[in-house]
A and B are shown apart, each in its own frame.
Chain A
Amino acid sequence: SQQGEEDPQALSIQEGENATMNCSYKTSINNLQWYRQNSGRGLVHLILIRSNEREKHSGRLRVTLDTSKKSSSLLITASRAADTASYFCATERGSQGNLIFGKGTKLSVKP
């Protein structure tokens, strides 16, 4: 069953604007990861945030985590056309701790 669920499903912005994507999950987590996927390609790991962290930065990416609300957000600042992709959050599930992904947010950045 699905663990993370991203919101919105699709987001269209102009180059230079900020893009915010949200992820909600159902069960307690050890960490939450964000991945990016260009159309028809494999997923690429962006950032991991631990359950005891509230915010993490990596370049133009900022991830927040609110374990009380079981939600996370990914902010991409000063977006570029090359940021156009689908973005997925992933959390671990089950006794084996396998990563389960949401449906993703499809981001379109127009030049």
Chain B
Amino acid sequence: ETGVTQTPRHLVMGMTNKKSLKCEQHLGHNAMYWYKQSAKKPLELMFVYNFKEQTENNSVPSRFSPECPNSSHLFLHLHTLQPEDSALYLCASSQIQGLFRLAERDGELFFGEGSRLTVL
């Protein structure tokens, strides 16, 4: 257990569906992240929230909509996705985001087990 929980673990949706991925961390961290992992590609950073404020949107299409209601919860709302969006979506948290940290260890990421998304 890493202290970061993602639900659902598996999701199959049609291109016209609307669904959401949920991430919850019990580590008292202040930064949360969404990464996308596709086959044979590096992990792609999608969004970053630091103290509930979005600090990074890595040119992600608008069909992905993040929400961070508090420092412990992060959502990824999905609508009108494409088959190429099928991937493992990983949520992570850290004490604080990158350059704001005071100690090196604060930049260590704790990952959830991921949500495997299949878009038909």
Interface 1/0 per residue, B12-41 and A, CB below 8 Å: 000000000000000000000101000011
Contacts of B101 in A (CB 8 A): 97
Interface 1/0 per residue, B34-62 and A, CB below 8 Å: 01000011110100101000011000000
Whether A42 lies near B97 (C-beta < 8 A) is no
Contact of A98 among B88, B98, B113, B114 (CB under 8 A): B98
Whether A92 lies near B98 (C-beta < 8 A) is yes
Contact of A33 among B35, B48, B108 (CB under 8 A): B108
Task: Give CA–CA (A100, B109) in the complex, Å.
Answer: 11
| A48 interface residue per 8 A CB criterion | yes
Which residue of B is nearest A97, CB measured?
B98
Whether B107 lies near A97 (C-beta < 8 A) is yes
Whether B98 lies near A44 (C-beta < 8 A) is no
Whether B114 lies near A92 (C-beta < 8 A) is no
Contacts of A45 in B (CB 8 A): 108-110
Q: What's the nearest-Cβ distance from chain B to residue A70, in Å?
A: 17
Task: Give CA–CA (A2, B44) in the complex, Å.
Answer: 9
| Size category of the binding interface on chain B | 20 to 34
Decide if the interface of chain B is mainly helix, strand, loop or mixed: mixed
Interface 1/0 per residue, A34-48 and B, CB below 8 Å: 010000111111001
Whether B99 lies near A42 (C-beta < 8 A) is no
Interface 1/0 per residue, A87-100 and B, CB below 8 Å: 01010100111111
Interface 1/0 per residue, A74-111 and B, CB below 8 Å: 00000000000000101010011111111110000000
Whether A100 lies near B45 (C-beta < 8 A) is yes
| A27 interface residue per 8 A CB criterion | no
Beyond A42-B112, A99-B98, A102-B42, 19 additional contacts (C-beta under 8 Å) are A2-B42, A31-B107, A41-B114, A42-B6, A43-B109, A44-B111, A48-B105, A92-B99, A95-B99, A96-B50, A96-B56, A97-B97, A98-B33, A98-B98, A99-B45, A99-B107, A99-B109, A101-B35, A103-B42
Q: Interface residues, chain A, CB within 8 Å of chain B?
A: 2, 30-31, 33, 35, 40-45, 48, 50, 88, 90, 92, 95-104
